[in-house]
């Protein structure tokens, strides 16, 4: 049976834009069958070989123990995007465990929803119980917490800066410091909480720039030279190239030490051992997805790309793979540093929290412990790595993705 979260009980789920069905629901566990011990069976030659019977009994006990270890219920998890769209390569860490059945094995039915293209949605929907887990930027997460929303990060998707600035190809802007006094396009006014700390970090007064809210056309505004710059992020670079948007990039990793997007849940869930177990399983499924992609990026790209038939109209398989690797190289930073997937680093967060407090983005100087926890990561990173790698290596690529090339300038 499916168990709704305690925030979902007694109300219907709201849906925005596109809802994509996730993995197939787990069947109820089968009752294990015991060995046949009928005393009336006639003696046979096999009966003279008692050494075989204990082996079969042990196998039955192992099978029953394995079944006992499996989750008895399927728990629904609703994840909300920060982009107002799902048709991107960014979320391969979720599509892979959905399609490979990893979430299903862990007793989870994970559903992805696009949500509105509104900056605070990934935290607000979670706080209001309209979604279970969201993917906010640090600015959205912290301003939400400061406003009293009961949310907390359980998984740092990127230990480094994922956000970049795009500029027209004929621009005289060659460094982030050149952005002072310029016009910067955004899709939503709420993106200001993302950009202002980045400007402070490089010594620019945010009041010196003008934000131009251009909706979904904010990238075109940059490409056409209608503004001086626009906010972007890793993964989007390849997507814009696929769409024919010609821009140059000021890559945030080169000059910023601040953290990036996280997965936040309702803070009260950390006080419920059953829900903590659910989120540890969720993280475990994601880590399996990350490691699958690391072992076979083309397979992960294919599984994600094939979710969206219309994506082929705007992005060829090679660019889809490039986009996945571009963003995935950031996803794996904390693991490559030996701290496992999803680790939050106190130094980067403390500096960031101080800057946004000075900016007035938060009235309270938030403590890192109010914003995130690393407590679920030990269990979440405990996976059968050999099994996942074997799955990835055995995956059969289709003709399109078999013809792609894995870029070597970035490492997942």
pLDDT value for 111? 98
Q: Which residue has the tokens 């979902």?
A: 8
Q: How far apart are CA 65 and CA 58, in angstroms?
A: 10
Q: Do domains 74-160+260-402 and 163-254 have the same CATH topology?
A: yes
What architecture is domain 74-160+260-402?
A: 3-Layer(aba) Sandwich (3.40)
What architecture is domain 163-254?
A: 3-Layer(aba) Sandwich (3.40)
Q: Which residue has the tokens 């939050």?
A: 344
Model pTM? 0.76
Q: Residue 68's Cα: distance from chain center in Å? A: 30
- Going residue by residue through the chain, which has 412 residues, state the pLDDT in tens, using 9 for 90 and above: 444 444 444 333 333 333 333 333 333 333 334 434 444 444 444 444 444 444 555 455 545 545 555 556 899 999 999 989 999 999 999 999 999 999 999 999 999 999 998 889 999 999 999 999 999 999 999 999 999 999 999 999 988 888 999 999 999 999 999 999 999 999 999 899 899 999 999 999 999 999 999 999 999 999 999 999 999 998 788 889 878 999 999 999 899 989 999 999 999 999 999 999 999 999 999 999 999 999 999 999 999 999 999 988 889 999 999 999 988 998 999 999 999 999 999 999 999 999 999 999 999 999 999 999 999 999 999 999 999 999 999 999 999 999 999 999 999 9
Which segments within 193-255 are labelled E, that is strand?
210-213, 229-233, 247-250
Q: How far apart are CA 353 and CA 345, in angstroms?
A: 12
Helix (H) / strand (E) element for 105: namely: helix 102-105
Backbone dihedral angles phi then psi of residue 107, each to the nearest 5 degrees:
80, 30
Characterise 312 by phi-psi region: left (phi > 0), alpha (psi -120 to 50), beta (else): alpha
Q: Where are the domains of the chain?
A: 74-160+260-402, 163-254
C-alpha gyration radius of the chain? 24
Q: How far apart are CA 199 and CA 231, in angstroms?
A: 12
**Longest CA span, the chain:** 95
In the numeric block, which tokens belong to residue 265?
């849940």
In the numeric block, which tokens belong to residue 192?
């200001």
Q: How far apart are CA 410 and CA 387, in angstroms?
A: 25
């Amino acid at each position: 049976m499916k168990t709704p979260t305690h925030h979902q009980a007694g109300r219907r789920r709201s849906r925005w834009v596109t809802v994509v069905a996730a993995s197939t629901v787990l069947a109820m566990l089968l009752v294990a069958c015991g060995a046949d011990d009928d005393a009336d069976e006639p003696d046979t030659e096999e009966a003279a070989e008692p050494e075989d019977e204990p082996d079969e009994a042990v196998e039955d006990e192992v099978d029953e123990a394995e079944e006992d270890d499996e989750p008895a219920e399927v728990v629904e998890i609703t994840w909300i995007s920060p982009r107002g769209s799902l048709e991107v390569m960014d979320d391969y860490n979720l599509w892979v465990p959905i399609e490979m059945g990893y979430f299903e094995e862990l007793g989870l039915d994970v559903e992805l929803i696009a949500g509105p293209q509104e900056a605070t949605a990934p935290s607000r929907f979670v706080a209001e119980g309209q979604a279970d887990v969201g993917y906010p930027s640090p600015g959205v997460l912290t301003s939400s917490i400061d406003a009293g929303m009961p949310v907390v990060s359980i998984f740092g998707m990127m230990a480094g800066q994922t956000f970049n600035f795009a500029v027209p190809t004929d621009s005289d802007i060659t460094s982030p410091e050149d952005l002072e006094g310029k016009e910067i396009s955004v899709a939503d006014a709420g993106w200001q909480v993302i950009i202002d700390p980045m400007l402070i970090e490089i010594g620019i007064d945010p009041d010196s720039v003008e934000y131009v809210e251009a909706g979904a056309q904010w990238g075109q505004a940059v490409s056409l030279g209608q503004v001086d710059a626009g906010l972007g992020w890793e993964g989007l670079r390849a997507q814009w190239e696929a769409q024919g948007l010609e821009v140059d990039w000021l890559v945030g990793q080169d000059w910023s030490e601040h953290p990036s997007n996280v997965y936040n849940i309702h803070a009260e869930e950390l006080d419920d051992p059953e829900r903590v177990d659910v989120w540890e399983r969720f993280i475990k499924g994601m880590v399996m997805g990350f490691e699958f992609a690391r072992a076979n990026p083309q397979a992960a790209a294919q599984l994600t790309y094939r979710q969206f038939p219309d994506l082929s109209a705007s992005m060829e398989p090679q660019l889809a793979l490039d986009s996945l690797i571009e963003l995935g190289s950031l996803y794996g930073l904390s693991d490559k540093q030996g701290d496992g997937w999803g680790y939050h680093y106190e130094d980067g967060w403390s500096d960031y929290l101080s800057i946004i407090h000075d900016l007035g983005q938060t009235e309270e100087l938030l403590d890192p412990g109010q914003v995130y926890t690393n407590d679920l990561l030990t269990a979440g990173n405990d996976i059968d790595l050999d099994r996942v790698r074997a799955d990835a290596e055995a995956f059969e690529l289709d003709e399109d993705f078999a013809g792609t090339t894995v870029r070597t300038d970035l490492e997942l």
